Chains A and B, each alone.
Chain A
Amino acid sequence: MLATIFKFELQYWMKNPLVYVFSAVLFAIPFMTMWGMSVEANTGDNLVMMNSYYKLNNMANTFSLLLVFILPAIIGNSVFRDFSSRMYTLLYSFPFSKKEYLIAKFASAMSVVMIILFTLVIGFLLGSLMPGVKETVILPFDIGNYLQLTFVFLLPNMLFFGVVVFALTLYTRNIYVSFIGIIIMIIIQSFGKGVLGVSGYETAAALLDPTGETAIKQMVKYWTLEERNFNAIPVTGVILYNRILWLTISVLVFIHMYIKFEFNQFVSTRSTQKIKASEIENENKIFLLSLPTASTNFSKMNQLKTAWHLSSIDFRSIMFSWPFTSILFAGGMLVLFQQYQMGPQNGIVSIPTTSNMLRFPMFFFSAIINLLTFLYAGILMYKGRLSRMDALIDTTPISSWAMLLSKLIALIKMQFVLLTLVLIGGVIAQIVAGYDRYEWSHYFFELYILQGIHFIAWACLAICIHSIAKNLYLGYFLLILIPIFNLVLPPVADYIGADILKSNIFQFNSVKDIFIGFDYSDFNGYGAQLTTYFSYKFYWMLCSIGLVIIALLFWKRGRTFTLSERWNVIISRCKGITAYALGLIFLAFVGTGFTIYHHENTVSKTSFTDEDINMISLQNEKQFGHLEHLIQPKLVDVNMSMDIYPEEKKFNLKGNFTYINKTNHVIDTIVIAKSLKEITTCEIQQSHRTIASDDILRYEVVVLDDALLLGDSITIDIEVSNYPNTLLHHNSRVISNGTLISDHILPVLGIRDAFLSNPKDRKKNGLAPRESTELNPSDSTLLGYEYGANDQGLIRYECVISTSSDQTPFTMGNIKEVTQKNERTYHHYKSNGLIVNAMSWMSGTYEKLSASGKYQELEMYRHPEQRYNDVHFFDGLNASLDYCSDWFGPLPYDTMRIVEYPETEGTFATVHGNLMPYSETYFKCDVHDHQNDVFNMPFYVSAHEIAHCWWAHNVDPANVLGGRIITEGMADYIAMKSIEQKYDSDKLLKFRKEYHKLYLKERADQANETALIHSSLDNEYLNYRKASLAIYTMSEYLGEDVLNKALARFENRYKHTEPPYATSLDFVDYIRVATPDTLKYLVHDMFEAITLYENAIQSVDIDIDQGISHIDIQLEITKYRSDQKGKHSYGDDILQAGEKKSLPLSDYIEFGFFDDEDSLIENRIIHIENINSNHQLVITGNVSRIVIDPNYLLFAVNRDGNEWGLK
């Protein structure tokens, strides 16, 4: 009998078109992804193997989520079908056991799921074998990979979700509960990841994620690219336990359901109230029927009213159903948690501002709202049919549009309830955190207007698709595919070369550059985003209205039997006002789309598409490439005025700029490259003739009548202003409050470093391959003026800056004069001596704060409401200023100014002369949050940035490899020292541990590590993380005094020098000179090679006698070099001990000895010469724990074996 049911079921499914639709889509997505990405993959060193175990697992897990969402349509439906078709009444009496019934049903449905799952895996497999895939990103075919993926991960996952769906459907006899059950499980899963992923619960998180994804992430956390590309995922440890746990849970759920299930459960209605047969009162009485008169009214107004009332009924039926209540609860908890927790943005945990409360939960929650919209749209649209009440409803004289409208309104009401969770959660989180600004209007505006119109469009689409689709499952599935389609369209358009399709007007409900959340600043609110947002949303609203009309045409009322009959009905409905409205909406929609496309791509003067940039790069090279190495004079004197008009959003800069030839080369040709995004005029005061002028590239090439010799100068009068803003483009850099304009607006001398880099594009345009200069620090030609990127040099700077009278203007220097004229404020600034060639101009409304330092007055100008971190900014500045001034000498400034600018304009802080433009992000940073224990951002960033006055301004190294370890590495080193001075070494150790982790993670992710002296200029994990850690290690080994004196000598040697400029090689040499011979290896290991340790304490014998510990310790120390992909090597004089290999050792390694209360007794350095060594030590104190390298002075990926004893 089991076999009979099984076979019957399978036959049913094989005849069901849904199975084929699901399979086709789940085949096509992985197939196209694998094929497309392996054909398109670039060349280079950091290639991710598309079909590696890790990558494949990653992709398959994501795509299989699609199958999870539709599991109820298969597994749930296999039993729900019997109920909804009332087959149960017959089945109940058939001679088979519940064992046969349940097993056959589940097994057959699971088989169907398995088939679909196989098509997904086969999609990947075939994709990787297609013609054109690049061997550089595709590993040879390995069946083991696919088998592991299928049978260890995907199938058990489906089994788990399948069992849950099966059980839910059987328990409740309601298939929607299982759809919602899936959504709730996804919420709980991400909730679990979030809660448990934070601190110390990683293993629990890995175990509790039913998909095993977190476990895998855990396992490969520090894998290098090499390992990720070539290693199999080990099914051991936490991954194995995870698999066993969830398989067991699946079995338990099945058993529970098996025990609980009774056949008669089908028949007895859970919610049946016992209703007594009514009293036989008028049983056989004959009535003289006289129905009370009831007037009917079918006016439009009344139908609208009716639609509203009907929507309330539908809405209530959603709200007061327990599945929805569960979603509200789970979703509410998730939202609140995300708001409370607030994952750090740019590494910074912020205070719970309203914009954060609105933004943080949306990323995940908007997907939940969408899923629920898709599902409930179906439930509402099929409500009559599912409850078999459709015949009663369809024959009532209510117009279809009123009925449809009522469904739409009910759906929107549901969305608004979900959005309200964000408000409630946000306010709770703010109350808990003691945040005292309750910006209700901000909440309401963003949730119910901005997000509201976004979700309404989805609701309209959902209504439309469900109206068209043949059944609910198909509609739901199609709807889930649409956001995926949105994501896939741009790369596909790119691939087939149809650039127009990349536009957002083809991605339903999308807005260019605004994805889910909004940028918001206390200074200027949403800024120019809103115009863009509303323009696009107006377009999508037209689309939505069109969709609703189409939904109306397709509205299922009564029954049709053939496609042509249905089509005839649709055509017959498309007439009169409906047809006109649809036509009109369509025209408006297309017209708006065209306008948006036009505005987006052709109206703006300051926004460039990829094609524009390619074209500019191409012309730059073709027409002006021969001027690439032309030597140009350097800027030395600026005398200018800057007028900012916040209300009109415009600025005007005028000034004369003097340049000097600092080289022995004779300069007669000057290339002026004007900003591509502003209106610029230049007048050279010396006599000259123009030989080329290009309006697109904005070049002016002139030949001077009198060539410039060493020390000769020219002066150029420059005027710069902005293009006016357009509908979709914010061309001006001026905003209503908090303007920051940087010197990017100024013309520069020499051609731009803009060349086509993609080899394919170069070939297409007939350009020879561009040889990239290796910017080797040992190449002396790169260390002077001749190398264009070295724009070092100091300038004299004077500027009168003005703004509207309600704002304050800022630029670098000391204020000479403040005047008011014509309702405008003028500040006259002049630099005290020379400053580095970097300029900013700012304007806004601020509150001013002051503090005194040992050497300078400190001023801070910030938004009046953001009084959270004042003291930390000043503390950071003071600690760093004191440390640097004491070691390297004082700065020439009397006053340092921190001036805030909106985070919508950037998240950086910098220092130009004595002006520090500082992003709002740091003013909203929550330094009390536990996640900020380690990084007190305002303190750290202030300390770091001010250190640049010495390490970037005083010493400005050549722009070659390794240069930034001198600027960023030193700035971070000084920030570390500032933390140590202000707080304690424990806090610093935490900071450095975190830095270690970041370095290890980023080197694994990016797989482009080099030795520090060759670190590329944009490599943050080397220039910041590793360099500062290495310098700190030297200061510990050599002593702070010895190292800092060496650094001071270096600083003094290169301070404001003429070329050749400093390089990383010089920097390391200064350190090396101060290093004793026994430690010279360390300088090499740290700076000139990639060196990592793998250390372990093998055994420890302790004999404690009268408070003295006699220790016998057995160590295994290995050291290796790594290449950029993480491959180990050991040099020529390889040390070997059994399996273990190492570089030759003569290393001094620190050991920490702790007593039973875990306080440090002593740090002792042990000299290591072999892989395995034995040491006898005598320590005064009761040693109960020993740690290798307790202060994280050395680099090691794995520190598991570094400890002995109990913590």
Chain B
Amino acid sequence: MILKIQNLSKTYPNGTKALDKVNINITKGMFGLLGPNGAGKSTLMRTIATLQAPDTGIIQLDDIDTQLEKMSLRKVLGYLPQEFGVYPNISAEKLLDYLARLKGITSRSERQSIIDYCLHVTNLTDQRKKSVSGYSGGMKQRFGIAQMMLNNPKLIIVDEPTAGLDPAERQRFLNILREISTKSIVIFSTHIVDDIKDLCTDMAILNKGNILYHSSPEDAISTLQGQIFTKNISRESLPSAEDQYHVLSSSFNRDNSIRIRILSSESPDDTFISIVPTLEDVYFSALQN
């Protein structure tokens, strides 16, 4: 199974170029789409999910041209948007039943068993009779996963799902996604590097509508092996350090000094310590290229 995106472009009426000739192939497993706010992640996700049309370009899932055969794609699609609401005053169970009908599951008993299962997986069984509009953020997000799984999707798109989840919720959420990704393509957008690090089998970095980088997280990190150095400097000397070195990131220490991480083929001087690169370094180096 492969999702091929070719030459995908989208420019909004206000002139924003959200996607600029994006080309990428995504295969089974968990794919992380990393990028800052406004990079075009949501546009890409929504376009794949058939919610909007690109100006140019083709998206193909195996032999489905998703622009021409939207229904074929939707049949195998699980989509969890960045933000969503639900009809007021309707219980989780009823709402899942409603969505299951929309997803074409006509047998009442099959619908019931898959709903029960999804509720169980997302730990919502106890709350199934409660109105979803009254759910807390985490519960609502779990509901989002439950509805996503109803049609046993082959392509799953989740748009910044972990924002606003507490660490436990987030962990469970990622676990479920990871499990699903053993059988399907899961595209998962985030601006949190940590989400990607352990789980994703593949990743890309998107900025200003361009794919800056595409590889597996391990490969990405290994390419920077031996090129990342760190050093504590004073606050005042940050500007000159930025002039002097390729600073990837900088952060305060408790004593108000600043720790900078730089990219360099070799250690500039002894004051720098070579360290093991992280995915964050990959991310920043990609953005700054």
How far does the Cβ of B46 sit from chain A's closest Cβ, in whole Å?
8
Contact assessment for B133 and A317 in the assembled complex, using a CB-CB cutoff below 8 Å: no
Of B1-9, B70-78, B253-261, the segment with at least 4 beta carbons within 8 Å of chain A is B70-78
The tally of CB-CB contacts under 8 A between chains A and B is: 172
A284, A302, A558: the one contacting B104 at CB < 8 Å is: A302
Complex CA–CA separation, A558 to B79 (angstroms): 13
Contact assessment for A287 and B106 in the assembled complex, using a CB-CB cutoff below 8 Å: no
Within 8 A of A (CB), among B69-104: 71, 74-75, 77, 79, 81, 83-90, 94, 98-104
How far does the Cβ of B69 sit from chain A's closest Cβ, in whole Å?
11
Complex CA–CA separation, A561 to B19 (angstroms): 15
A287, A289, A296, A310: the one contacting B75 at CB < 8 Å is: A296
Within 8 Å of chain A (Cβ to Cβ): is B105? yes
A271-B133, A289-B179, A392-B79 are known contacts. Are A387 and B13 too (CB-CB below 8 A)? no
Contact assessment for A294 and B131 in the assembled complex, using a CB-CB cutoff below 8 Å: no
B98, B103, B105, B106: the one contacting A313 at CB < 8 Å is: B98
Within 8 Å of chain B (Cβ to Cβ): is A297? yes
A284, A289, A297: the one contacting B106 at CB < 8 Å is: A297
Residue with the greatest number of chain A CB neighbours at <10 A, chosen from B102, B105, B126 = B102
Within 8 Å of chain A (Cβ to Cβ): is B240? no
A284-B168, A559-B51 are known contacts. Are A309 and B101 too (CB-CB below 8 A)? yes
Contact assessment for B134 and A284 in the assembled complex, using a CB-CB cutoff below 8 Å: no
Complex CA–CA separation, A295 to B103 (angstroms): 10
Contact assessment for A394 and B51 in the assembled complex, using a CB-CB cutoff below 8 Å: yes
Chain A contact residue count (CB 8 A cutoff): 54
Within 8 Å of chain A (Cβ to Cβ): is B203? no
Within 8 A of B (CB), among A865-907: none
Q: Which residue of A lies closest to B178 (CB)?
A: A286
A289-B176, A291-B114, A399-B71 are known contacts. Are A296 and B106 too (CB-CB below 8 A)? yes
Within 8 Å of chain B (Cβ to Cβ): is A389? yes
Of A36-44, A274-282, A911-919, the segment with at least 4 beta carbons within 8 Å of chain B is A274-282
A286-B179, A562-B13 are known contacts. Are A271 and B134 too (CB-CB below 8 A)? yes
A294-B111, A398-B104 are known contacts. Are A387 and B117 too (CB-CB below 8 A)? no
Within 8 Å of chain B (Cβ to Cβ): is A761? no
Contact assessment for A398 and B103 in the assembled complex, using a CB-CB cutoff below 8 Å: yes
How far does the Cβ of A720 sit from chain B's closest Cβ, in whole Å?
67
Within 8 A of A (CB), among B155-197: 168, 171-172, 175-176, 179-180, 182-183
Q: Which residue of B lies closest to A395 (CB)?
A: B79
Contact assessment for B79 and A391 in the assembled complex, using a CB-CB cutoff below 8 Å: yes
How far does the Cβ of A476 sit from chain B's closest Cβ, in whole Å?
21
A291-B152, A298-B75 are known contacts. Are A306 and B101 too (CB-CB below 8 A)? yes
A395-B51, A395-B74 are known contacts. Are A561 and B13 too (CB-CB below 8 A)? yes
Within 8 Å of chain B (Cβ to Cβ): is A397? yes
Complex CA–CA separation, A297 to B89 (angstroms): 29
Q: Which residue of B lies closest to A291 (CB)?
A: B152
A269-B134, A291-B149, A395-B74 are known contacts. Are A560 and B79 too (CB-CB below 8 A)? no
Q: Which residue of B lies closest to A273 (CB)?
A: B134
A282-B123, A286-B179 are known contacts. Are A271 and B88 too (CB-CB below 8 A)? yes
A305, A317, A387, A565: the one contacting B85 at CB < 8 Å is: A387
Within 8 Å of chain A (Cβ to Cβ): is B207? no
Within 8 Å of chain A (Cβ to Cβ): is B107? yes
- Which residues of chain A are within 8 angstroms of B141 by Cβ–Cβ distance? none
A271-B134, A317-B87, A392-B79 are known contacts. Are A293 and B179 too (CB-CB below 8 A)? no
Within 8 Å of chain A (Cβ to Cβ): is B113? yes
Contact assessment for B130 and A275 in the assembled complex, using a CB-CB cutoff below 8 Å: yes
Within 8 Å of chain B (Cβ to Cβ): is A1132? no
- Which residues of chain B are within 8 angstroms of A598 by Cβ–Cβ distance? none
Within 8 Å of chain B (Cβ to Cβ): is A393? yes
How far does the Cβ of A287 sit from chain B's closest Cβ, in whole Å?
5
How far does the Cβ of A306 sit from chain B's closest Cβ, in whole Å?
5
Q: Which residue of A lies closest to B150 (CB)?
A: A294
Residue with the greatest number of chain A CB neighbours at <10 A, chosen from B51, B53, B101, B136 = B101
How far does the Cβ of B154 sit from chain A's closest Cβ, in whole Å?
12
Within 8 Å of chain A (Cβ to Cβ): is B110? yes
Complex CA–CA separation, A396 to B94 (angstroms): 16
Within 8 Å of chain A (Cβ to Cβ): is B282? no
How far does the Cβ of B273 sit from chain A's closest Cβ, in whole Å?
35
- Which residues of chain B are within 8 angstroms of A272 by Cβ–Cβ distance? 133-134
- Which residues of chain A are within 8 angstroms of B276 by Cβ–Cβ distance? none
- Which residues of chain A are within 8 angstroms of B53 by Cβ–Cβ distance? 558, 560, 565, 569
A284-B172, A305-B106, A561-B13 are known contacts. Are A310 and B101 too (CB-CB below 8 A)? yes
Within 8 A of B (CB), among A246-297: 269, 271-273, 275, 277-289, 291-297
How far does the Cβ of B181 sit from chain A's closest Cβ, in whole Å?
10
A271-B134, A281-B123 are known contacts. Are A298 and B104 too (CB-CB below 8 A)? yes
Q: Which residue of A lies closest to B105 (CB)?
A: A294
Q: Which residue of B lies closest to A565 (CB)?
A: B53
Complex CA–CA separation, A271 to B81 (angstroms): 25
Within 8 Å of chain A (Cβ to Cβ): is B37? no
Q: Which residue of B lies closest to A321 (CB)?
A: B89
How far does the Cβ of B92 sit from chain A's closest Cβ, in whole Å?
10
How far does the Cβ of B2 sit from chain A's closest Cβ, in whole Å?
20
The digit string for A298-312, where 1 denotes a CB below 8 A from any CB of B, is 100010011001100
Contact assessment for A292 and B113 in the assembled complex, using a CB-CB cutoff below 8 Å: yes
Complex CA–CA separation, A271 to B101 (angstroms): 26
Complex CA–CA separation, A282 to B83 (angstroms): 25
- Which residues of chain A are within 8 angstroms of B171 by Cβ–Cβ distance? 284
- Which residues of chain A are within 8 angstroms of B71 by Cβ–Cβ distance? 298, 397, 399
Within 8 Å of chain B (Cβ to Cβ): is A502? no
Contact assessment for B175 and A397 in the assembled complex, using a CB-CB cutoff below 8 Å: no
Within 8 A of B (CB), among A394-428: 394-399, 403
Within 8 Å of chain B (Cβ to Cβ): is A388? yes
The digit string for A304-347, where 1 denotes a CB below 8 A from any CB of B, is 01100110010001000000000000000000000000000000
- Which residues of chain A are within 8 angstroms of B182 by Cβ–Cβ distance? 289
How far does the Cβ of A562 sit from chain B's closest Cβ, in whole Å?
5
Complex CA–CA separation, A281 to B88 (angstroms): 28
- Which residues of chain B are within 8 angstroms of A403 by Cβ–Cβ distance? 102
Q: Which residue of B lies closest to A385 (CB)?
A: B85
- Which residues of chain B are within 8 angstroms of A277 by Cβ–Cβ distance? 136
Complex CA–CA separation, A403 to B89 (angstroms): 21
- Which residues of chain B are within 8 angstroms of A561 by Cβ–Cβ distance? 12-13, 52
Contact assessment for B123 and A269 in the assembled complex, using a CB-CB cutoff below 8 Å: no
The digit string for A939-954, where 1 denotes a CB below 8 A from any CB of B, is 0000000000000000
Using a CB–CB distance below 8 Å, which chain B residues touch chain A?
12-13, 46, 49-53, 71, 74-75, 77, 79, 81, 83-90, 94, 98-107, 110-111, 113-114, 117-118, 121, 123-124, 126-127, 130-131, 133-136, 139, 144, 147, 149-152, 168, 171-172, 175-176, 179-180, 182-183
14 contacts between A and B (CB under 8 A): A278-B126, A285-B175, A287-B179, A294-B111, A294-B150, A296-B104, A297-B104, A310-B98, A310-B102, A389-B84, A393-B99, A396-B103, A398-B101, A403-B102
9 new A-B contacts, CB < 8 A, other than A391-B79, A394-B50, are: A271-B89, A275-B134, A292-B110, A294-B105, A310-B98, A317-B87, A395-B77, A397-B71, A559-B46
- Closest 3 A/B residue pairs (Cβ): A388-B85, A296-B104, A396-B102
